[in-house]
Amino acid sequence: MVQQLIEGAARAIQKAFGEGCAIYTEMVRQNLKRPCFFIEGGDLSEKHMVGNRYRRAAPLSVTYFPSEEKIPLKRNAEMAAVDEELFCVMENLVTEDGSVFRGTSMRAQNAGEVLRFSAQYGGVYKKLPDENPVLMGDLTLNEGV
């Protein structure tokens, strides 16, 4: 689920910001091409609801690295424009199979040199029952004892 959300976010960001912005989904130590986005997933959580229904939640984090050549004043304006756009882009993510996940608890933070955006995604799903369930053994009743 997390990898599908990361790929959906990458497609949505690419569509909104175009080919001029690089998108990374794996850690890059050197030669980061700016401006760029780095997308990573957080810890997946699951909670049992009723029967075979479960609720899953997965946080996503997007870090935006602005252009290096911008002076600080224009960099803040650039990041403000990007965070406004990210709220729209990240609201509904479509996965490869066509599932749509709505972002909740969305938050953007200007952290000086970078912009950090986070959102929570999740949904309710059913676990399929086992095809060969382990059943209770035979029961013998003695009547009239």
Full set of structural domains in the chain with CATH: 2-126 (3.30.2000.10)
Residue 1 — very low, low, confident or very high, per pLDDT cuts 50/70/90?
Answer: confident
What are the angstrom distances between the C-alpha of 64 and each of 37, 112, 124, 135, 145? Answer: 5, 11, 30, 53, 78
Task: Read off the pLDDT of residues 64-76 as tens digits, 9 standing for 90 and up.
Answer: 999 877 666 678 8
Cα–chain center distance at 80: 22
H/E element, 80:
helix 72-89
Angle, alpha carbons 81-24-99 (nearest 5°): 85
pTM: 0.80
